[in-house]
């Protein structure tokens, strides 16, 4: 079931429906803000997350990780209703390796780009059969590797990520539905990339990335592990769990009372419009177990919610209902 978030100035629909997208593919200011993790919702989520061992909202140490990998190419994605304009033109093929993704939402609705590679031995017919009549995507997830991307951002916003594109057939897609619940991919917002070491022309050579990696964000069996303090810059995002996860970040118009966070998240998962206004500010697209990527985060002071809308294979229940969420607050330094 899609999840709709409405407010006077912000409206977008979030879907955990990966299957429809896959089937279509077959056819900062002067003051740098910092953040401290809010652990106040840990007790309210403990029971819901007991099955997964969640509820403790663990915090990772804040220390620089390895340097940014040197990208082999960069791709510009201009997202609008309902298409991607990709530059340079990738029709001649693109090279495997770390790829700098500059994503620009030039449309009127929130958009994203997520990347998925068909697993070896899987063909499109098999994938289509697995995903038939399954709006959650749970039936199709087992047939692909989700390799990251960028999560939902509002109109007139930009975000940047480093994604490792493996050789093979890779799908780029936006599966945010419109206000009527129709996935953007069903209206053309999906494309297939041929990733090959023998590609005739590599995509544009990116500039040297001389910025440091400020820390790591881990998606673990115990939930999101965030640095104790966050500031604008690059972060290494890792999925160290055995399940698929995403990092969807939303800025809140006001803080959620600690004893209401669990109910607030449950409302989102059950398509109930929340009382507090939300802005989609990006994050890391869904990643299968063992995958990683790099994300450039631009934080403004305020309260935030991180959630995982993804389900497990064969089970449409989104991880957020098992406690896979947390709140944190960004403060100006």
Separation in Å, CA 247 to CA 218, 238, 298 = 10, 10, 15
For the stretch 276-304, pLDDT in tens is 998 989 999 999 999 999 999 998 899 99
For the stretch 308-324, pLDDT in tens is 988 887 777 888 898 99
Range of the domain at 14: 3-332
How confident is the model at residue 50, as a pLDDT?
Answer: 37
Give the tokens for residue 111: 């958009």
Q: How many angstroms separate the CA atoms of 152 and 324, rounded?
A: 18
Q: Kindly report the CA angle at 10 between 13 and 162, in degrees rounded to 5?
A: 65
Question: What total number of domains does the chain contain?
Answer: 1
Among 66-70, 132-136, 262-266, 327-331, top mean pLDDT goes to: 262-266
The structure's pTM equals 0.81
Q: Mean pLDDT throughout 32-37? A: 47
Residue 153: which CATH number?
Answer: 2.60.40.420
Show Cβ contacts of residue 40 under 8 Å, excluding neighbours closer than 6 positions.
Answer: 258, 261, 327
Give the tokens for residue 110: 């929130």
Burial (Cβ within 10 Å: 0-12, 13-18, ≥19) of residue 181: middle
């Amino acid at each position: 079931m899609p999840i709709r978030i409405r407010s006077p100035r912000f409206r977008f629909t979030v879907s955990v429906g990966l299957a429809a997208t896959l089937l279509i593919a077959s056819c900062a200011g002067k003051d740098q803000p910092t953040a401290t993790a809010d652990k106040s919702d840990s007790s309210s989520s403990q029971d819901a997350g007991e099955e997964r061992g969640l509820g403790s909202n663990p915090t990772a140490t804040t220390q620089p990780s390895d340097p940014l990998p040197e990208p082999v190419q960069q791709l510009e994605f201009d997202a609008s209703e309902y298409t991607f304009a990709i530059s340079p033109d990738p029709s001649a093929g693109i090279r495997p390796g770390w790829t700098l993704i500059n994503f620009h939402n030039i449309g009127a609705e929130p958009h994203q780009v997520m990347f998925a590679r068909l697993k070896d031995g899987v063909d499109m017919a098999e994938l289509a059969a697995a995903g038939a009549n399954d709006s959650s995507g749970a039936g199709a997830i087992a047939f692909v590797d989700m390799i990251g991307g960028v999560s939902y951002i509002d109109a007139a916003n930009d975000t940047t990520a480093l994604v490792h594109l493996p050789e093979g057939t890779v799908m780029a897609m936006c599966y945010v539905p419109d206000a009527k619940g129709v996935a953007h991919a069903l209206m053309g917002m999906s494309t297939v990339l041929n990733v090959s070491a023998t590609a005739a022309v590599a995509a544009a050579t990116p500039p040297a990335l001389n910025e440091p990696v400020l820390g790591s964000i881990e998606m673990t069996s115990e939930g999101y592990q965030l640095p104790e303090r966050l500031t604008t810059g690059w972060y290494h995002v890792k999925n160290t769990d055995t399940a698929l996860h995403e990092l969807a970040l939303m800025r809140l118009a006001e803080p959620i009372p600690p004893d209401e966070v669990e109910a607030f998240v449950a409302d989102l998962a059950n398509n109930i419009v929340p009382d507090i206004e939300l802005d989609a500010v990006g994050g890391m697209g869904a990643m299968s177990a063992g995958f990683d990527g790099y994300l450039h985060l631009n934080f403004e002071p305020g309260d935030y919610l991180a959630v995982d809308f993804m389900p497990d294979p064969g089970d449409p229940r989104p991880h957020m209902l098992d406690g896979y969420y947390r709140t944190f607050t960004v403060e100006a330094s």
